[in-house]
Amino acid sequence: MKEDAFDRRAFLKSAVAGGAAAAAGTLPKSAEAQGTAPTKTPAQESPPPTYSFLNPDEAAFIEALVDHMVPADQYSPKGTDLGLNLYIDRALASGWGKGDRTYMQGPWRPGVPSQGYQLPLTPAALYRSGIAAANAACAKTYGRRFDKLDPAQREEFMQGMRSGKVVFEGGPPSRAFFATVYQNVMEGMFGDPMYGGNRGKAGWKMIGFPGVIAVHYQNVEKFRGKKYSVEPVSISDMS
């Protein structure tokens, strides 16, 4: 079994590994059939993004990526309308982006995959170098930077980063970069909206997560085996 060097929780939890393709093609229909509330937001106006870390080229890359990963459909508005780009920008500008809680002393060695993250880069530095390297790789392969690719090229390039097939010359490993971006997109989509993502609690509505009000002493019996439908409540809703 091959082991990734980098945080694989997102991948593991979304079970992308191995196995025959399930009946994924039929899923949208059955999801509707079982009553998943479609979260159509007709032409919802997003506030213009104000970035504190990403430069315009980097922002264009992230916007293109989150909109490809989270397209507008019957399940939710698209990534930028959910604020996933803003979530990432704020995370990179925060202590986390600057290496908070990360041991940053050398010497630096690649190590073996089981030893985890060993790059001499804070998350912010990983994004900065990773986006530049990704755009350079896109230019080399497609003659255009990532945000100018067509959807099929974008898909191909993202799969290439995910598997590590795309090589970032002189940059960080593409797979390490992409694993971090992927994890951050999931955080933005399903974390509390106060961090900039999950706008309108659309990520929570998509799956039926009720948010922060969780007094279920009686519900645990009353709703055992039954659907529990409520309007989700976020931290700022209660603050």
Partner 1 sequence: MATRLKEVDVVIVGLGWTGGILAKELAEAGLKVVALERGGLRLPQSDFTVPQVRDEIRYVIRHDLMMDTQKDTLTIRNNVSQEALPMRRLGSFLPGDTVGGSGVHWSGHTWRWTDMEFKVRSRYEERYGKKYLPEDMTIQDWGITYDELEPYYEKFERVAAVSGKAGNLRGKIVPGGNPFEAPRANEYPLPPLTPLLAQEMFREAAAANGYHPFPRPSANASRPYTNPDGAKYGACQYCGHCQRFGCEANAKGSALISVIPIAMRNPNFELRTHAWATKVLKDPGAKRVTGVAYTNVLNGDEFEQPASIVLLCAYAINNVHLMLLSGIGEAYDPVTQKGVIGKNYCYQTGASATLFFEGKHFNPFMNAGGSSTTIDDFNANWQFDRSKHGYVGGFIVAGAFNTSLPIGYRPVPAGTPAWGTEWKAATAKWYDTAMQINMSGSVMANRYNYFDLDPTYRNAFGLPLMRMTFDYKPNEHRIGEHAAQVINDLAKSMKPTHLNPAVARTGPWTVVPYQSTHNTGGTIMGTDPRTSAVNKYLQSWDAHNLFVVGANVFPHNSTYNPTGPVGALAYWTADAIKNKYVKNPGLLV
Residues 74-113 within binding reach of partner 1 (CB under 8 A): 75-76, 96, 99-105, 107, 109, 111-113
Residue closer to partner 1 (CB basis): 39 or 129: 39
Nearer to partner 1, 76 or 135 (CB): 76
Site string for partner 1, 181-210 (x = CB under 8 A): -x--xxx--xxx--x-------xx-xxxxx
Q: Answer whether 123's CB lies under 8 Å from 90's CB.
A: no
Nearer of residues 28 and 49 to partner 1, judged by Cβ: 28
Look at phi and psi of residue 83 and say left if phi exceeds 0, alpha if psi is from -120 to 50, else beta.
Answer: left
Task: Name the residue nearer to partner 1 (CB basis): 167 or 212.
Answer: 212
Residue 107, preceding peptide bond in cis (omega within 30° of 0): yes
Closest approach of partner 1 to the CB of residue 221, in Å: 5
21 touching partner 1, by CB under 8 A: yes
In the complex, the smallest distance separating the C-beta of residue 76 from partner 1, rounded to whole angstroms, is: 7
Please tell me whether residue 174 binds partner 1 under the rule CB under 8 A.
Answer: no
- If binding is defined by CB under 8 A, does position 19 make contact with partner 1? yes
Residue 139 or 213 with smaller CB distance to partner 1: 213
